[in-house]
Structure 1
Amino acid sequence: MNLKYVIKEGTAGFKRAKLAVTTSIFSLFIAVLLLGILGRISYNVYTQAMSLKEVVLEVFLFDMDERSTDEIRMQLEDEELVTSIEYISKDSASVVAAQDLGAGVDDLIELNFLPASFRVNVNTDSGAELVENLASRIQNIRGVDEVKYNKALVQALESNLSTFTLIGGGLGILILLAAVVLVYNTIRLTIHAKKDLIRAMKLVGATNGFIRSPFIVEGIVQGIIAGGLSVLCVFAIFEFFVPAYLPDIGIVAWPFGRWYFLVGAMVGLAVLMGWWGSRLASRKYIAETYISGS
Structure 2
Amino acid sequence: MGEEVQITAYLADFLSDEAADGLEKDILEIKEVEGATYISKEDALKYLGEIFSGQGDVLEGLSKNPLPASFEVKLKKRFRTPEDVALVAKKIERMNGVDDVVFAREWLSRFYEVQKIVKVAGIIIGVVLSVAVIAIIAITIKLTLYAKRDEIDIMKLVGGTNSFIKIPMIFEGMMQGFLGSVIAVGALFLTYRYFMEHYYKDVGLFFGGIEVNFFDPEIIIYFFIFGISLGLFGSIISFGRMLKT
TM-score range, shorter chain: 0.5 to 0.7
Q: Does 1:285 align with 2:241?
A: yes
How big is the alpha-carbon RMSD for the aligned residues of Structure 1 and Structure 2? Answer: 5.1
Q: Does 1:74 align with 2:30?
A: no
Q: Which one of the candidate residues 212, 228, 232 is aligned to 2:166? A: 212
User: C-alpha deviations, 1:134-158, integer Å up to 9, x for none?
Assistant: 1111123245443222222233333
Structure-2 separation of matches of 1:104 and 1:218: 72
Q: Does 1:274 align with 2:225?
A: no
Cα pair distance change 1:103/1:256, threshold 3 Å: same
TM-score (norm 1): 0.51
Q: Does 1:153 align with 2:102?
A: no
**Secondary structure of the corresponding residue to residue 161 of structure 1:** helix
User: C-alpha deviations, 1:202-234, integer Å up to 9, x for none?
Assistant: x88654322423432443465577678x48x84
Structure 1 residue runs of 5 or longer lacking an equivalent are 1-45
Structure 2 residue runs of 5 or longer lacking an equivalent are 53-57, 201-211
**Secondary structure of the corresponding residue to residue 174 of structure 1:** helix
Higher Rg of the two aligned structures: 1
Q: Does 1:187 align with 2:141?
A: yes
Structure-1 separation of matches of 2:44 and 2:146: 83
Structure-2 separation of matches of 1:216 and 1:124: 42
Aligned to 2:73: 121
Kept in 1: contact 2:7–2:85 (CA 8 A) = no
Share of identical aligned residues, percent?
17
Q: Which one of the candidate residues 181, 194, 198 is aligned to 1:248? A: 198
Cα pair distance change 1:73/1:275, threshold 3 Å: closer
Structure-2 separation of matches of 1:70 and 1:267: 46
Task: Give the number of the structure with larger relative contact order, counting CA–CA contacts within 8 Å between residues 6 or more apart.
Answer: 1
- Code of the residue aligned with 1:85 in structure 2: it is T
Matches within 5 A, 1:50-199: 50=3, 53-61=4-12, 69-80=20-31, 81-86=33-38, 88=40, 102=59, 104=61, 106=63, 109=64, 117-123=69-75, 125=77, 126-127=79-80, 128-188=82-142, 191=145, 194=149
Cα pair distance change 1:196/1:74, threshold 3 Å: closer
TM-score (norm 2): 0.59
Quote the offset at 1:55 in angstroms: 1.4
Kept in 2: contact 1:55–1:154 (CA 8 A) = no
Cα pair distance change 1:65/1:181, threshold 3 Å: closer
- Code of the residue aligned with 1:277 in structure 2: it is G
